[in-house]
Amino acid sequence: MFLTSLTDSHDLDRAVTVGDDVLSRAELVDRAGRFAAGIPGDGPVAVHATASIDTVVAVTGAILAGVPVVPVPPDSGPAERGHVLTDSGATAWAGERPDDVDLPVVLPGAQPIGPRPVDPAATAMLLYTSGTTGRPKGAQLSGAAIAAGLDALYEVWDWTPDDTVAHGLPLFHVHGLILGVLGSLRRGSRVVHTVKPQPARYAAVGASMYFGVPTVWNRIVDEPDAARALSRARLLVSGSAPLPASLFDRIAALTGQAPVERYGMTETMITLSAHASGERRAGWVGLPVPGAETCLLPATDDPTDADTVPDDGETVGRLQVRGPMLFDGYLNRPDANDECWAGEGWFRTGDLAVRDAGGFHRIVGRESTDLIKSGGYRIGSGEIEAVLLDHPAVSEVAVVGVPDPDLGQRIVAYVVGDGHDAQVLIDHVAGQLSWHKRPREVVFLDGLPRNPMGKVQKKLLGT
């Protein structure tokens, strides 16, 4: 059980803080143990994953009991929630129960139970993907995988029991729940969840490590006093989405340190990261963490192409990863498993990346929507979008390839923003990237088409 250290470590009087609620390590062990005592059967247990101390107790209690945890987003609708509960086979519910849920609610026992012996290879967490290409899929993460992923980050980020981790991220994803909360509990460090990721709340914590997504970091630098308060921290970590270079620079200017960027997925945890004691480069997600391996395959199906792409920092390839932190597959989805596993432990991420001679990686987009073949070049639209977002006239952008009789595909940028000078934006990209990556056309819109999850629907553009 990967949280055995929870009961072995020295006590902390403020081990977990969520908003105004604080638990010492002993109090958390007691409450989690009583929650574990009330779990009927062997689970899984669905946890209404609000930003609350009750969520931390429920997740920790289920793990101590050796029962799989199924975090359920608190804003999920009845259809999504019903699919997750049915697909996971959840047998109990933790937290406030919506009217459409008929599972029994876990009632804590009078006396706590100790950690149960658990096979490390057994599923510890079932995390459901966003479902942007169909119904959400349940990614099965074992205790061994979670432990391996966290232990790698302790080394890469110089994370020690003396650290205090602060964030306000959702408690139903890898970033907020596994890294932020379980990572701190396993390491023996303190964790403070600010409930909402607001700049003033981040600044008030006085933590040594902060986790955030680009939206959070953008809000923080828009309040310079809050940003400067983070200068006392030793590590500012950004992930879950690309960090624009201009935002990277603003964070560094206001806090005195460049942020650490990293790359991961629900299925893989974190496989790439800049190191706390190493280089931090805007737009690049660093090196493989200990135990992880990567390979870049040609972004083409031509059998005459080389087996891998050159490490020149420019050539785009299909990113595959493997390592002990990867999931065991999607629950009840043999079709999806056949599609994502390439053999010998390699997982097809679906992302496009480049790698330089030093092993640093840069993610340039998703293969399904972001690979553009123009004039004989293979181009990832994500890097063009990142450059355009650095222009002050651009607030939103989506870059796609549209059919072209001469180029095969021509690069078109769909832009939401204040300015409407296409040539200025084209020249901006040409000045930052290779000439062939410049948009041949810029279309100005009032808004980008998005699905109910907020994801841009690129397939509706350029048609």
Kindly state the average pLDDT of the residues 179-194.
Answer: 96
| Residue 363 sits in the same domain as residue 391 | no
Q: Indicate whether 358 pLDDT > 70.
A: yes
| Residue 388 sits in the same domain as residue 430 | yes
pLDDT confidence tier of residue 5, bands split at 50, 70 and 90: low
**pLDDT tens string 250-300:** 999 999 999 999 999 999 999 999 999 999 999 999 999 999 999 999 977
DSSP symbol at 237: E
| Cβ atoms 362, 386 nearer than 8 A | no
| Cβ atoms 113, 66 nearer than 8 A | no
DSSP symbol at 219: H
| Residue 270 sits in the same domain as residue 419 | no
Q: What is the CATH number of the domain that holds 49?
A: 3.40.50.12780
Mean pLDDT of the chain: 91
pLDDT confidence tier of residue 372, bands split at 50, 70 and 90: confident
Q: Indicate whether 29 pLDDT > 90.
A: yes
| Residue 421 sits in the same domain as residue 338 | no
| Residue 345 sits in the same domain as residue 442 | no
Find where tokens 């950690």 sit: 115
Residue 437: domain span: 375-460
Q: How many domains does the chain have?
A: 2
* Higher per-residue confidence, 43 vs 249: 249
| Residue 137 sits in the same domain as residue 176 | yes
**Residues forming a β-bridge with 372:** 379
Angle between helices 245-255 and 381-389 (to 10 degrees): 50
| Residue 385 sits in the same domain as residue 248 | no
pLDDT confidence tier of residue 423, bands split at 50, 70 and 90: very high
pTM here is 0.85
pLDDT confidence tier of residue 6, bands split at 50, 70 and 90: low
Q: Indicate whether 308 pLDDT > 90.
A: no
Q: Express as a percent the part of the chain with pLDDT over 70.
A: 94
End residue of a domain, out of 337, 368, 399: 368
| Residue 312 sits in the same domain as residue 426 | no
* Higher per-residue confidence, 155 vs 374: 155
Ramachandran angles phi, psi of 309, nearest 5°: -90, 155
Dihedral angle of Cα 166, 124, 186, 169, to the nearest 10 degrees: 0
| Residue 167 sits in the same domain as residue 52 | yes
Candidate ranges 218-222, 403-407, 448-452; pick with highest mean pLDDT: 218-222
**pLDDT tens string 226-244:** 999 999 999 999 988 888 8
Ramachandran angles phi, psi of 319, nearest 5°: -85, 125
Q: Which residues of 276-297 are buried (b: 16+ CB within 10 A; e: fewer)?
A: beeebbbbbbbbbbebbebbbb
How is residue 443 written in tokens?
A: 């279309």
pLDDT confidence tier of residue 157, bands split at 50, 70 and 90: very high
End residue of a domain, out of 321, 353, 368: 368
Q: What is the CATH number of the domain that holds 452?
A: 3.30.300.30
Q: Indicate whether 306 pLDDT > 80.
A: no
**pLDDT tens string 40-96:** 988 899 999 999 999 999 999 999 999 999 999 998 888 889 999 999 999 999 999
| Residue 104 sits in the same domain as residue 210 | yes
| Residue 255 sits in the same domain as residue 335 | yes
Amino acid sitting at position 428? H
End residue of a domain, out of 341, 368, 395: 368
| Residue 277 sits in the same domain as residue 395 | no
